[in-house]
Structure 1
Amino acid sequence: MSELEQQELQILQEVLKRSKEEYDEEIARREHLTHKVGSTSTGLHQEPLTNGTEPQAAAQPINSHGKKEDMQESEQSLAARSSKASDNCSTQSKTLPAVRVPVRAPAPLPTSREKSANQAAESWLEEARKEAGISKPYRELTAAQQEQLQHRAEYLRQQRDKLHALKKVQRGKSDAGEETSSPTPIPVPAPPAQILACEFYQYVLIFLFGFYKARDMNMRRLLTIGCWLSRAARRRVWTRASTERRVGVDLEGRKLEISTGKLAQLADGCSVVQVDYRQKAAAAGRIPTNYLRRELGTSETEILTSRLIDRSIRPLFPAGYFYDTQVLCNILAADGVNDPDVLAINGASAALAVSDIPWNGPVGAVRIGLIDGGFVVNPTRKEMGSSMLNLVIAGAPSSQVVMMEAAAENVLQQDFCHAVKLGIKHTQQIIHAIQQLVRELKVEKRTPQKLFNAPSEMVAFTRQLAGERIYTVFTDFSHDKISRDESVNKIRLETEEQIKEKFPHAEPFEVIEAFNAVSKEIFRNLVLTEYRRCDGRDLTSLRDISCEVDVFKPLHGSALFQRGQTQVFCTVTFDSLESSVKTDIVTTALSGIKDKNFMLHYEFPPYATNEIGKMGGLNRRELGHGALAEKALRPVIPKEFPFTIRVTSEVLESNGSSSMASACGGSLALMDAGVPISSAVAGVAVGLISKPNPEKVSEIQDYRLLTDILREILGIMNKSISKPRSERKEHGPVVENVRVPISRRAQFVGPGGYNLRRLQAQTGVTISQVDEETFSVFAPTPYALHEAQEFITEICKDDIKHPSALGLEVGQQIQVKYFGRDPTDGRMRLSRKVLQSPAATVVKTLSEKQSITMEAADEHTTSSS
């Protein structure tokens, strides 16, 4: 049998064992009651359950109320559905005996007990005979067949007794006391329908397992899952408190409220904190704009917030806990004033705390802003627009920092440290409120069946076997990353074989974890006692750093940054402002961010670590590391810049701290591209090696910080390029504003925008309107801009012929009449013709009797005849 099959059988054996214990307890209780008030008989359904048929009610007197009848009908319908489901899973059509539901009836007379018992035994034999498909009467069968039927009848009777015993346990001790005090059994109210369904399905599944045995593996797995779930449901669904409980915290005038027990009561933990996270369009009062008008994939904001929550709660799970645990945060409502990410951290913390999942929480989270020299706890979205600091900090009990993420604009070190202390102070208030909620609910944490840790004796054996060899590799400073990994893996393979010989029944993960534990212990002691890293550097020494800019001439900006065996290639690309990132309507409604014209994209291909992997879409790690480096560079980008800037960071090889290498390389590439950044940016990763207190594990006895010196990194970067280029590269993009008079705007745009689209298609430029008479022209190259300017000049020129076409010469004065300006195009309306005499061809010949007198006036002409 496979390991999965053994686990399934163990689960079923446990279920059957517990059922037998409950049955034995019930039999003992019934025998005790029999001596006092006599036994009770039960009504049984005598009709077998077949495919496509419904169970018929037993025609026996029932002393019960409407609730008893409803319970019986629900049991019959559940039995019918169970029979149909089992027929679909079986390869043959079977006739299944009805699962007998005990129904309380009046106590029989003592003289009829023996007769009733005989009739019940005969009915069970008849039922077993029909199930086996035997047509002969029982008395005409052979002794072997009769014995087989008796065993089957006994099995069916046991299943009936188990179901009857389980129902009696649900009635409680109070009902048993009432039975004892009265000579006539009193009907007991039916248990809740959900509990009854779980009990009923549980024993139907056990019966079907005995019927099908091991014929169908899929059926066995289905029964295993069914028995397990029914057991879990009967044990837990009705033990959870259904009353809603709330706690509140006052954070400098802003109230944080946490409630549980009202929504999602089937989950292990549920907490609603004003808003609760994934971003729903309905929470922001909007409808998604995609073609399905519903939430589809996750947005960048959702992924970054998920990582924020993940980093806050992951460190507090027990060591060796690898069971699947899912935390879902959904925004149910948003006011558009407060950001939901911090509230989502507190909601996830409260949900894990009130659940029975093993977790060493809770945590509390706040956001700290720095506005006009003062610190603000949980500032609003409007206040964050003028804040110089955006610090999100999550703390654990005893004022410990679990997670910290920040973005700032030249904040002093002492101000930042003060903000951290203030944030930790307010996280403790949230933690105390969640702990109060846990005490009110009286939460009991479940004990994991198994933690994936190596036994101490196996770790000691591994330390004795490979400790010296691992220490030798870690203190051999001639190794690089690849050679060191190869040496350690060689020791690992040799050691694992010897561990398996010493511990033949050890699990594979235990062997691996034992070796990892010894390796970590040796490395930690090397840092704590000898103040050395495995490459020979002390705790603050730099790896070898090299920088190079303008790597490829056609690029707008490029830089290659290498620190040790971490190498990053960064590029800068310019495009029009129309190419800025447009956020979706939900993110805009919740966070107020409409678009951004600076972005950093981080790429980590598999070859960076000498591996083969799938290339494709963006993963959460790449998105998170890119956002981290983008936060480092955004404060130095000028507020007003005529281009959209995209920085790409491709990790070519990685031996740690690739995100901070991206920040350094991105800063060099921006200066190479001629972006007027306010200062160069360098980043380092900081590691903490600690030694816990053996008397109190939550306290740190000793620690070491592993970091680099930023000033030295900036000095090396300045040797490559110390300030941004004064001009952008000659083959880079250009942007220019073009004035188009209102009178020529219609001619410039063309009917339906035809001329504008033709211009952009032929020259490759991008045109956007600035105001009524000004258009911004973005061209990828200076040559494209020159072509666009010629095109615009040709379209917008005035169609005026030379004066010689009218018989005039340059410098000659003529008189014209002014009629004002044209209301459509704003041009002056002038006419010379109205001041001249009519042409001879248009003068009408008059008769002798007619005469014309004309008199020229200043502004009018009169005539008479």
Structure 2
Amino acid sequence: MSKIQAISLSETIGGKEISIQTGTLAKQAGGAVTVHLGGSVILTTATSAPTPKAVSFLPLTVEYRERTYAAGKIPGGFFKREARPRDKETLFARMTDRPIRPLIAKGWNFETMIYTLIISSDTKNDTGPLSILGGSAALMLSDVPFAGPVAGVRVAQVKGEFVLFPTMEERAECDLEIVVAGKKGAILMVESGAKEIPEEIVLKALELAQTAIDKLCDLQLRLVEETRKAGRVVEKRSAAPAVLPPALSSWTRERAVSPIQGFLHAGYKKKHDLGDHIKELYEKLVLEAAEKGKTDPAFAAADVPVVIGNVLQEIKAEEGRKMIVHERTRTDGRKLDEIRKITVMAPALPCTHGSTVFTRGETQALVTCTLGTPEDMQIMDELEGEYKDRFMLHYNFPGWSVGEVKPERGPSRRDIGHGSLAKRALLPLLPPDNEFAYTVRIVSDILESNGSSSMATVCGGSLALFDAGVPMKAPCAGIAMGLFMEGGKYAILTDIAGLEDHVGDMDFKVAGTEKGITALQMDIKIDGVSIDIMREALAQARKGRLEILATMAEALPKPRPELSPMAPRLIRLQIPVDKIGALIGPGGKNIRRMIEEYEVNIEVEDDGGVFVSGVDAAAVERARLEIDAMFKEAEVGKIYKGRVVSCVEFGAFVEIMPGKEGLLHISQIDVQRVAKVSDVLKEGDMVDVKVLEVSREGKIRLSRKAVIAPGSEGDDPPRRDRDPREHRGGPGGPRRERSHR
């Protein structure tokens, strides 16, 4: 890269200044920019290899990494350095990749990497959408053939108002947040989470986002122009799309178009039916080509089988698209808005807390729900600070689910992304933690797949939560929509299958309830989609979602009335913060006693939240009663059954609640005068007593007499006949009467 002066440009979006700079950092990268928002700064580079690779796909890698120094922190763990990407970094890398990938020239086979590094974080401003802006700007300055610019913005609805690039505080309060990426006048990607928001609100957010995207695209064009003025001119390299040998390609098409049209119009019902037909045709053509190669050198090349296979895949995609757009029929025989057959098994397993097998066509998910205690929450250590996550959703897609052999190497980026989408769909519907304190883990194991497995996870997750007895606000369903555009015409598909996903122009996933949307994800393979088409797709998706919800309701209409007997019992209490020490006791003596006595687990939080959990519901309830009583104040005038703890000369101390003792004065023991406490009471006796008074210091005065004879607590007991000796005046003998003079 030639040396140029530093260039900095800015744009105000939603009252916030966003600036892009180049020419200062990473000058040897193909293109490099820093993007600033508040105190947050990202560095994004775009670099391509000098020589091409012999691959049939776009060799693009996108990384998003956060350095802990950006927020003035040192990494935890033994090695004290950043390790493999965390889920958040993986999700932001995917978010950067998805709107950029379709705009890199077809046939580009030079290894290319976009790398975003978070080098400063004020822990307030979100850097995810900035990575899209930075990646696009870096590509615009590089030699990669890129049909940009593109930009990304996050929109949130906070208290009924839309906010662009919301802060972390605003995001915590919002009922809709949506990341939108696109180019001028067209949307390329959508990623959203919401609290049952109507479709029209989502569309308004998209329109606002498009306006901001247009401004940020103009900002990048100005940046490119300024770098040119400063003397840096980068020539874009050209892509070289693979050109199939004309003679072999034509020969294959003459023999393959008609059979493939026949296969597609037959309306195959199973995924492998079409594949088997094409495989038979492929083997037949390879044999014919080999025979022809004996006399024609064009058919004797080593790559002939590869070329024939590529031509067959091209024909399959072309003919499938024509059927859908022009004939309005699908390759499996369905109508455009028809959903595949759905079956539900719930419960599916005997020992899980909640389980279901959700099957839609040839896509099947085994989804389980496990309930745990707050001890099971996942600790998340992010730049913005540490927090605990009580809801986890893990998605697994093994190779055998599609008949392939694939080694297990942990969750892939796709697994993490699909799990995050399903989690966003279900999270707003969980009961608040002050009503349902359990930690919840959903696991979705895809058993077979022919498209839309993430939406099967949403449906299965909702049913598994119901089966576990989790009191969700409403059931949730998800559906994947598709878009095909040909020669000015388009078709929107409901519940796309694998082939339709592969050859289509859009994958649009919508999840939600009868009331509204909870999650949204859209990926576009073309230059963009208008708001009007998205409006139509959302309306069609709602129709399909309601149909799926009705089918789910037939199997399990509402949550089970009781939690699974396999699940632990958990109760949440709230005690005053200044009473935490009393609950724990000196050296933890009190809390250890209760844990051992009741065979439960007790966790105390800094805010006074107390969680009691155990296998035996009765034991958990007994522990709860003791803790509850320990911090419950005695009520004046109320009668309690208490236990005599100790007897003293002037009365007895009676425990009326765990840890709460009061004084039963000797004068309040009985309606008759009591000479000695031990004449009536002894330690361990159970007595009914009434609370007469609770002093400011918390001392409790009790009366047994008021229980025996209500209203008598204020009367002195009757006096016994005195011994004559009691009339003596004192040590000097009988008192003498004073004589009257």
Establish whether residue 513 from structure 1 lines up as the match of residue 310 from structure 2. yes
From the superposition, tell whether residues 406 and 813 of structure 1 become closer, same or farther in structure 2 (CA, over 3 Å): same
Establish whether residue 257 from structure 1 lines up as the match of residue 19 from structure 2. yes
Given that residues 430 and 472 in structure 2 are in contact (C-alpha distance below 8 angstroms), is that contact kept between their aligned partners in structure 1?
yes
Tell me the CA shift for residue 255 of structure 1: 1.5
Map 1:122-521 onto structure 2 (within 5 A). 237=1, 240-274=2-36, 275-276=41-42, 277-397=64-184, 399-442=185-228, 443-448=233-238, 450-455=240-245, 458-496=248-286, 498=288, 501=293, 502-505=298-301, 507=303, 510-521=307-318
Tell me the CA shift for residue 647 of structure 1: 1.4
How far apart, CA to CA, are the structure 1 residues paired with 2:255 and 2:284? 10
Establish whether residue 684 from structure 1 lines up as the match of residue 471 from structure 2. no
Given that residues 322 and 452 in structure 1 are in contact (C-alpha distance below 8 angstroms), is that contact kept between their aligned partners in structure 2?
no
How far apart, CA to CA, are the structure 2 residues paired with 1:498 and 1:761? 80
Q: Give 3-state SS (helix, strand or coil) of 2:206's partner.
A: helix
Q: Give 3-state SS (helix, strand or coil) of 2:113's partner.
A: coil
How far apart, CA to CA, are the structure 2 residues paired with 1:798 and 1:744? 23
Residue among 760, 768, 779 paired with 2:603: 768
Q: Give 3-state SS (helix, strand or coil) of 1:369's partner.
A: strand
How far apart, CA to CA, are the structure 2 residues paired with 1:782 and 1:456? 75
Q: Give 3-state SS (helix, strand or coil) of 1:290's partner.
A: coil
Establish whether residue 627 from structure 1 lines up as the match of residue 424 from structure 2. no
Match of 2:362 in 1: 565
From the superposition, tell whether residues 250 and 801 of structure 1 become closer, same or farther in structure 2 (CA, over 3 Å): closer
1:43-95, Cα deviation, whole Å (9 max, x unpaired): xxxxxxxxxxxxxxxxxxxxxxxxxxxxxxxxxxxxxxxxxxxxxxxxxxxxx
Query: TM-score of the superposition, structure 1-length normalised?
Result: 0.60
Given that residues 743 and 824 in structure 1 are in contact (C-alpha distance below 8 angstroms), is that contact kept between their aligned partners in structure 2?
no
Q: Give 3-state SS (helix, strand or coil) of 1:294's partner.
A: coil
Match of 1:602 in 2: 395
Match of 1:136 in 2: none
Of 244-253 and 330-339, more deviation after overlay is shown by: 244-253
From the superposition, tell whether residues 459 and 787 of structure 1 become closer, same or farther in structure 2 (CA, over 3 Å): farther
Tell me the CA shift for residue 759 of structure 1: 6.8
Larger Rg: 1
The structure in which a higher percent of residues are helix is 1
The structure in which a higher percent of residues are strand is 2
Q: Give 3-state SS (helix, strand or coil) of 1:634's partner.
A: helix
Q: Give 3-state SS (helix, strand or coil) of 1:338's partner.
A: coil
Match of 1:31 in 2: none
Q: Give 3-state SS (helix, strand or coil) of 1:666's partner.
A: helix
How far apart, CA to CA, are the structure 2 residues paired with 1:470 and 1:603? 34
How far apart, CA to CA, are the structure 1 residues paired with 2:597 and 2:235? 69
How far apart, CA to CA, are the structure 1 residues paired with 2:177 and 2:263? 43
1:378-401, Cα deviation, whole Å (9 max, x unpaired): 22222222222111111123x121
Given that residues 137 and 149 in structure 2 are in contact (C-alpha distance below 8 angstroms), is that contact kept between their aligned partners in structure 1?
yes
Match of 1:161 in 2: none
Given that residues 582 and 596 in structure 1 are in contact (C-alpha distance below 8 angstroms), is that contact kept between their aligned partners in structure 2?
yes
From the superposition, tell whether residues 700 and 383 of structure 1 become closer, same or farther in structure 2 (CA, over 3 Å): closer
Q: Give 3-state SS (helix, strand or coil) of 1:287's partner.
A: coil
Given that residues 577 and 606 in structure 2 are in contact (C-alpha distance below 8 angstroms), is that contact kept between their aligned partners in structure 1?
no
Tell me the CA shift for residue 252 of structure 1: 3.0
How far apart, CA to CA, are the structure 1 residues paired with 2:600 and 2:235? 64
Tell me the CA shift for residue 359 of structure 1: 1.5
1:616-650, Cα deviation, whole Å (9 max, x unpaired): 42221111100001111111112232211111111
Match of 2:560 in 1: 725
How far apart, CA to CA, are the structure 2 residues paired with 1:504 and 1:405? 49
Identity %: 30
Letter in 2 for 1:663: V
Letter in 1 for 2:440: I
Map 1:815-826 onto structure 2 (within 5 A). none
Given that residues 244 and 260 in structure 1 are in contact (C-alpha distance below 8 angstroms), is that contact kept between their aligned partners in structure 2?
yes
Consecutive unaligned residues in structure 1, runs of 5 or more: 1-236, 829-852, 856-865
How far apart, CA to CA, are the structure 2 residues paired with 1:345 and 1:310? 8
Establish whether residue 638 from structure 1 lines up as the match of residue 431 from structure 2. yes
Map 1:687-836 onto structure 2 (within 5 A). 687-692=482-487, 709-736=544-571, 749=584, 752-753=587-588, 765-769=600-604, 775-782=610-617, 785=620, 800=645, 813=674
Letter in 1 for 2:65: R
Given that residues 633 and 667 in structure 1 are in contact (C-alpha distance below 8 angstroms), is that contact kept between their aligned partners in structure 2?
yes
Letter in 1 for 2:83: L
How far apart, CA to CA, are the structure 2 residues paired with 1:758 and 1:499? 84
How far apart, CA to CA, are the structure 2 residues paired with 1:310 and 1:773? 44
Given that residues 452 and 509 in structure 1 are in contact (C-alpha distance below 8 angstroms), is that contact kept between their aligned partners in structure 2?
no
Of 725-734 and 240-249, more deviation after overlay is shown by: 725-734
Letter in 2 for 1:612: V
From the superposition, tell whether residues 617 and 764 of structure 1 become closer, same or farther in structure 2 (CA, over 3 Å): farther
Match of 1:575 in 2: 372
1:89-145, Cα deviation, whole Å (9 max, x unpaired): xxxxxxxxxxxxxxxxxxxxxxxxxxxxxxxxxxxxxxxxxxxxxxxxxxxxxxxxx
Residue among 440, 463, 475 paired with 1:668: 463
How far apart, CA to CA, are the structure 2 residues paired with 1:558 and 1:633? 15
Map 1:94-109 onto structure 2 (within 5 A). none
Letter in 2 for 1:605: P
Given that residues 269 and 333 in structure 2 are in contact (C-alpha distance below 8 angstroms), is that contact kept between their aligned partners in structure 1?
no
Tell me the CA shift for residue 486 of structure 1: 1.9
1:597-624, Cα deviation, whole Å (9 max, x unpaired): 1221111122211222212422211111
Tell me the CA shift for residue 465 of structure 1: 2.2
Of 737-746 and 609-618, more deviation after overlay is shown by: 737-746
How far apart, CA to CA, are the structure 2 residues paired with 1:465 and 1:611? 29
Match of 1:82 in 2: none
How far apart, CA to CA, are the structure 2 residues paired with 1:692 and 1:456? 25
Tell me the CA shift for residue 322 of structure 1: 3.1
Tell me the CA shift for residue 247 of structure 1: 2.1
Tell me the CA shift for residue 336 of structure 1: 2.2
Q: CA RMSD in A?
A: 4.1
Tell me the CA shift for residue 551 of structure 1: 2.4
Letter in 2 for 1:270: A
How far apart, CA to CA, are the structure 2 residues paired with 1:252 and 1:689? 34
1:502-532, Cα deviation, whole Å (9 max, x unpaired): 4444757655433322221111111112211
Establish whether residue 529 from structure 1 lines up as the match of residue 326 from structure 2. yes
Letter in 2 for 1:732: A
How far apart, CA to CA, are the structure 2 residues paired with 1:734 and 1:280? 41
Given that residues 285 and 308 in structure 2 are in contact (C-alpha distance below 8 angstroms), is that contact kept between their aligned partners in structure 1?
no
Letter in 1 for 2:561: S
How far apart, CA to CA, are the structure 1 residues paired with 2:248 and 2:457? 42
How far apart, CA to CA, are the structure 2 residues paired with 1:716 and 1:663? 14
Residue among 541, 546, 561 paired with 2:338: 541
Given that residues 105 and 239 in structure 2 are in contact (C-alpha distance below 8 angstroms), is that contact kept between their aligned partners in structure 1?
no
How far apart, CA to CA, are the structure 1 residues paired with 2:77 and 2:30? 34
Residue among 649, 663, 674 paired with 2:444: 649
Q: Give 3-state SS (helix, strand or coil) of 2:9's partner.
A: strand
Query: TM-score of the superposition, structure 2-length normalised?
Result: 0.70
Letter in 1 for 2:345: E
